[in-house]
Amino acid sequence: MSVAVVRNLGRRDYESVWHAMAHYTDTRDGDSTDEIWCVEHEPVFTQGQAGKAEHLLDTGDIPVVQVDRGGQVTYHGPGQLVVYPLLDLRRCKVGVRDLVTALETATVEMLKKYDIAAAPRPDAPGVYLTGGPRAGHKIASIGLRVRRGCSFHGIAINLDMDLAPFLRINPCGYAGMQMVQMAELLESPPEWLPVAEIYVRALQRALALPESNWQPLDENLFSRLAQRIETSNG
């Protein structure tokens, strides 16, 4: 049975993590370990492959990065939990739709632990509140890429962040899409690491992966990879 190593990357700029997970996907082989990366990004808008310029309303001083995931534009920033499943889908016996469903199911299960009712929508990937005055507001966004049978990119869940940048775009390509975060629904703001731990356990269950201990990130490996990518791009 496959075991996915879980890593806490802390807070990092988006592009370095994107290039790292793409490189990992492109260079892995049949024996490479599946990994789940949890990270918090510096402020950035990311525009997916199908992205249209009309959905960028007033990005201002926040950078826009064109990326190779599916979907339209979204925002990442401090106070958001971003989870990247780097999985060999064939080895895990998981299809792309199964992975999307697992990411959504794990979000719903995690939110339920905090007494927040939410569910996915059949017409748009992600997770949305289902009760109270914020019903219909979006709390988690999904964008994936599969290459060589392996997944990267993932899901972003709003915990305790500045939601104002979402007003500068049409989130996920939907004009007027209302975003919400866990902190607005709880008496005390959620802590990033406990939420991440609950979420990852739920994701492992949804994917029928055994629980595994969190492993530290090899900073030297990450630095060497960043230098290699910079050299190849130069």
Catalytic member of 38, 92, 150, 172 = 172
For strand 44-47 and strand 4-12, is the pairing parallel, antiparallel, or unpaired? unpaired
Active site residue 92: no
What is the spatial distance between Cα 30 and Cα 104, in angstroms, rounded to a whole number?
27
- Residues 6 or more apart whose Cβ sits within 8 Å of residue 35: 4, 5, 6, 7, 24, 86
- Residue ranges of the alpha helices (H) in the chain? 14-27, 89-92, 96-113, 192-206, 219-233
Q: Which of 123, 156, 122 is nearest to 142 (CA)?
A: 156
What is the spatial distance between Cα 46 and Cα 75, in angstroms, rounded to a whole number?
6
Residues annotated as part of the active site: 172
